[in-house]
Amino acid sequence: MRNRTKIHAGLLMMAALLLAQAPSAAAQSLDFGFFRSRVEPILLKTRGDHARCYSCHEGANNGLKLESLSPGSTSWTEEQSRKNFQTISRIVVPGRPTSSRFLMHPLAPEAGGDPRPIGMHHGGRQFETQDDPDWKTLAEWVSGAKAGGGSGY
């Protein structure tokens, strides 16, 4: 009986290690190429009188912690982009933009975003409507758009 318990414990440990190393299901259905070429530039973009996403989320202590840019860089390295991709993939529901915190939190409540004061985004409402071109790009990614032009949106 002891050997059986040890075997079960060993199998559980191996399964846990494999799961910890595997990409999340969300990340597997989201396209890294589209993220890197179309989503990340939005995170670095100055949007009117709002702070850039990067300004507040660089090294943040919340669900959207972006990697710090290397000194003098204007974009992330591939390794940094992959970390950003993994982080943001955790706050989206692939195929469902309006169920994804990544899109709904910075969207004005009048446009369907998180209600105030519970969902108050401290960087201001980056998107006044779901028709904003940048919001639509984020929604395309969450909907399954591919870097080569395929889209689920």
d(CA 152, CA 32): 15
For residue 110, how many other CB atoms are within 10 A of its CB? 9
Strand spans (E) along 111-150: none
pTM of the model as a whole: 0.74
d(CA 114, CA 104): 6
Instruction: Please state the rounded mean pLDDT for residues 83-108.
Output: 92
* Collapsed DSSP state (helix, strand, coil) of residue 50: strand
Report DSSP state, residue 75: S
How high is the pLDDT of residue 1? 54
Q: What percent of the chain has pLDDT over 70?
A: 72
Q: Is the pLDDT of residue 74 over 90?
A: yes
Domain map (residue ranges) of the chain: 23-142
